[in-house]
Amino acid sequence: MANKTGKLLIIDDDEDVLYSARLLLKQHYSIVRTEKDPKQISSILRDERYDVILLDMNFSGDATSGTEGFDWLGKILQIDRSAVVVLITAYGNIEMAVKAIKEGATDFVLKPWQNEKLLATISSAMKLSESKQEIENLLSKQKQLTSDLDSQFQEIVGSSEEMQMVFGTISKVAATDANVLIVGENGTGKELVARAIHRKSRRNGNIFLSVDVGSLSESLFESELFGHVKGAFTDAKDDKVGRFETASGGTLFLDEIGNLTKNLQMKLLTVLQNRQVTRLGANIPKPIDIRLICATNLPAEDLRSENRFRQDLLYRINTVEIQIPPLRKRTDDIPLLADHFLHMYSQKYGKPARRIDDEAMQNLRRYQWPGNVRELQHLIERIVILNDSDTLTAKDISLSQGGNQVEAIPFNGYQLEEAEKLLIIKAVSKHDGNLTRAAKELGITRAALYRRLEKYGL
C-alpha cells in the first residue's frame, strides 16, 4: 500500500466517478477531495495546494471534444504553473493525448480505468510532484541565501568624488552584459561592487557566484570551474558540476584573477571564447550563459607590463574597467564608514549607540589604512566588542594594533605570528599596497602573501 501522505483533487461532473475514485484512492492517500463543478477550481486552489489533480476533459456542456478540459487545464496552470494534472476521459485518442501533454498535462487516463493502472499513473504523478516541490524549495533556498549574502554587502558607503565616479560606472555597466574588471587593493570592496552590478542587472533573479581563483591550486582549477565526470581522476567518485555551469543564467565573479598561471589563463580564454565548458573526463561541451566579473589587486597596466597575463584574455575580461580607490585616497569617506560600522556592530552585539570624538576621528583620517575598508571594519568591530564607553576617544582607538605605523609598534615578545604580521604590514605599507612588490621583498609568492593577509585579517 502506498504511503498515505499525498493530497489529491478530483474534478468530474459524474458523481459515480467521483465516488468510486474517492473510495479507491482514500486507501492510499491522506487527502482525497472531490469536486463536481469545475467553476470552483480557482477558489479551491487558492485555499490549498494539491500534489496531483485528476481533471475530467468532458463536462456536460461539451461531452466529447475535450475542449472544456483543455480550458480548465489552462486555468489550473495559470494559478499554479507547477501543478501536476492528470486528464481523464472516456473519449480519448492518440491526437488528444499528444495535445494534452503539449498543453501541460502530466498524463492521460481513459475511462473506465483499471484500478492498478490508475494507481500506477497517480503514483508516477506524485513522484513528479515531489520532484517539482524539491526544485521549488531549492530555488527558494537559493534566493534566500543569495538575499542573505547580498544583505551583508548591500551598502557601498561613500560620498567622496572618487566613489561617486564608481557609482556612476556601476549604474551604466549594470544594464549591459559587458564583462567587467574591477581593480583595487585588498580590502577596498571589490566584491561589494561586483554584487552591486549583479543586483542592478537583468540577471538579478539568478545566482551570483563568487570564486576566489587565487586560492585554487592548478590541479583543482579545472575541476572547480569546469566540473568533472565520475572517474575523471583518482578522487572523482561522482560527477561534479563546475562553477561556470552553476552560474549559468547569472553572474560569475572571479576574484584575484591576476594569480592565474599562463596555462590556466589559456583554458579560461577558451571557455570564454566558445561560451561552453567541457567537464574533465567528458567529451561533450555544455553551453553556458554567464555575466563575467573579474577582480584583481594589481593594476591592469601591471599585468601587461610584467608580461604575466595574456593580453587577449585581458581584453576579453575588461570590456569595462572599474578602479576602486584605496581608503587613504578617499579620506572624506572615513567618518561615514566608521559611523556605519559602529551602528552595524553595536546592533550585532547588542551594545548601546556610540560616537567617535573629533580627535579620534582625525587620527582615523590621518592613518594610511594598508588594509583599506576591511581593516577599518575589523578595527571598529574590535572596539565595539571591547569598549563600553558611549564616546570613543583616541585612547580607545589604538591604531598601532593593526595598521602601518609599524615603526612605533614593538614586537610582543618573540611571538612568531605577531612578528610575521607586523613584517607583512610594513612591507605592504612600504610599497603602497602593491602586493607583488611586497611579496618580492618578503621573499614569498603573491599567493602565499595573499593567504597570510586573509589569515591576519589585513
Phi-psi region of 248 (alpha: psi -120 to 50; beta: other; left: phi over 0): beta
Rounded distance between C-alpha atoms, residue 315 and residue 238, angstroms: 36
Final residue belonging to a domain, choices 303, 325, 347: 325
CATH number at residue 344: 1.10.8.60
Residues 20 and 131 both lie in one domain = yes
Kindly state the cell numbers that stand for 106. 502530466
Rounded distance between C-alpha atoms, residue 277 and residue 225, angstroms: 9
CA distances from 260 to 119, 426, 444, 447 (A): 57, 26, 16, 10
Rounded distance between C-alpha atoms, residue 131 and residue 239, angstroms: 20
| Predicted local confidence at residue 1, as pLDDT | 46
User: Is residue 271 within 8 Å of residue 279, measured between CB atoms?
Assistant: no
Residues 239 and 371 both lie in one domain = no
| Predicted local confidence at residue 173, as pLDDT | 95
| Predicted local confidence at residue 361, as pLDDT | 92
Final residue belonging to a domain, choices 325, 350, 367: 325
Residues 291 and 270 both lie in one domain = yes
Kindly state the cell numbers that stand for 297. 589587486
Final residue belonging to a domain, choices 272, 295, 325: 325
Residue 1 lies in a domain: no
Residue among 74, 297, 76, 261 nearest 185 (CA): 297
| Predicted local confidence at residue 327, as pLDDT | 94
Segments forming the whole domain that contains residue 207: 153-325
Residue 190 lies in a domain: yes
Residues 405 and 427 both lie in one domain = yes
CATH number at residue 181: 3.40.50.300
Residues 307 and 361 both lie in one domain = no
Residues 300 and 334 both lie in one domain = no
Residue 172 lies in a domain: yes
Rounded distance between C-alpha atoms, residue 236 and residue 339, angstroms: 49
CATH number at residue 41: 3.40.50.2300
Rounded distance between C-alpha atoms, residue 119 and residue 113, angstroms: 10
Count how many domains the chain has.
3
Rounded distance between C-alpha atoms, residue 58 and residue 91, angstroms: 8
Residues 272 and 250 both lie in one domain = yes
| Predicted local confidence at residue 402, as pLDDT | 42
The b/e string for 388-423 (b: 16+ C-beta within 10 A; e otherwise) is eeeebebeebebeebbbbbeebeeeeeeeeeeebbb
For the beta sheet containing 31-35, the strands, ordered from the edge strand earlier in sequence to the opposite edge, are 31-35, 7-11, 52-56, 85-89, 107-110
| Predicted local confidence at residue 272, as pLDDT | 94
Beta-bridge partner residues of 280 = 228
The dihedral of CA 288, 294, 300, 303: what is its sign? negative
Rounded distance between C-alpha atoms, residue 101 and residue 92, angstroms: 13
Residue 140 lies in a domain: no
Residue 165 lies in a domain: yes
pTM of the model: 0.62
Q: Report the Cα 20 to chain-centroid distance in Å.
A: 49
Residues 305 and 243 both lie in one domain = yes
Residues 216 and 251 both lie in one domain = yes
Residue among 129, 144, 25 nearest 82 (CA): 129
Residue 50 lies in a domain: yes
- Give SS3 for 275: coil
Residue 142 lies in a domain: no
Give percent helix, percent strand, percent coil of the chain, each to the nearest 5.
50, 15, 35
| Cis preceding linkage at 112, omega within 30 | yes
Residues 304 and 174 both lie in one domain = yes
Q: DSSP of 112-156, one letter per residue?
A: SPPHHHHHHHHHHHHHHHHHHHHHHHHHHHHHHHHHHHHHHT---
User: Is residue 345 within 8 Å of residue 387, measured between CB atoms?
Assistant: no
Rounded distance between C-alpha atoms, residue 360 and residue 356, angstroms: 6
What is the CA angle 252-253-254, rounded to 5? 115
Residues 438 and 309 both lie in one domain = no
| Predicted local confidence at residue 149, as pLDDT | 53
Residue 259 lies in a domain: yes
Q: Which residue has the cell 610594513?
A: 426
Residues of the chain with pLDDT under 50: 1-2, 151-153, 401-412
Residues 310 and 337 both lie in one domain = no
